[in-house]
Amino acid sequence: MYSQAPPLQQQQQQRVPPQGNSPSLEDMMKQLAANNLEFQQSVSSSNMQFQQNMTATIQDLKMQIGQLANTVSTLQSAGSSNLPSQTIPNPRGNASAVTLRSGKELHQPALQTLPRPAEAESKLEADS
C-alpha cells in the first residue's frame, strides 16, 4: 500500500583544492606552527622582562619602607615631648608693649618676684 521512499542518501561533496599558487594545507600548518612558536617566544620574553621589572620595583619599595621605618624609629626615640616640626620665629620680635582692652598701654611690664614657699617660711621664722 504505502510505497517506501528510497532512503535519503547524503551526497558527499569532495572539495577539490584550487589549482594555482595557493599554498597546500601542509604548508599552511607549517606556517601556523612557526607563527605560534614565534608568538610563544615573544610572550615568554615579555613575561620575563615584566617579572624582572617587578622584582626590581619590589626591591626598591622594600628599601624605601626600611628607610621610612628607620626615620619613624629615630623620631620616636627622640622623644614624644619634642615636636618634630620647625617653629617659625615671630617676625615682630618680642612684644615690648601690651595694649589692654581699655586702650591703656603698658610699655614695661613690671616683673614681680614672688618668694619661694621655703624662703617665706624662713623669713617668718626669722621675724619671730
Report if residue 72 sits inside a domain.
Answer: yes
The model's pTM: 0.40
Query: Which of 87 and 28 is assigned the larger pLDDT?
Result: 28
Residue 56 included in any domain? yes
Per-residue pLDDT at 114 exceeds 60: yes
Domain that holds residue 62: 52-76
On whether residue 70 sits in a domain, the answer given is yes
Task: Classify residue 125: in a domain, yes or no.
Answer: no
Task: Quick: pLDDT tens for 42-65.
Answer: 999 999 999 999 999 999 999 999
59 occurs within a structural domain: yes
Whole-angstrom Cα distance, residue 87 to residue 72? 20
**Is residue 60 domain-resident?**
yes
Domain count, the chain: 1
Tell me the HSE value of 121 on the side-chain side, using a 13 A CA sphere. 3
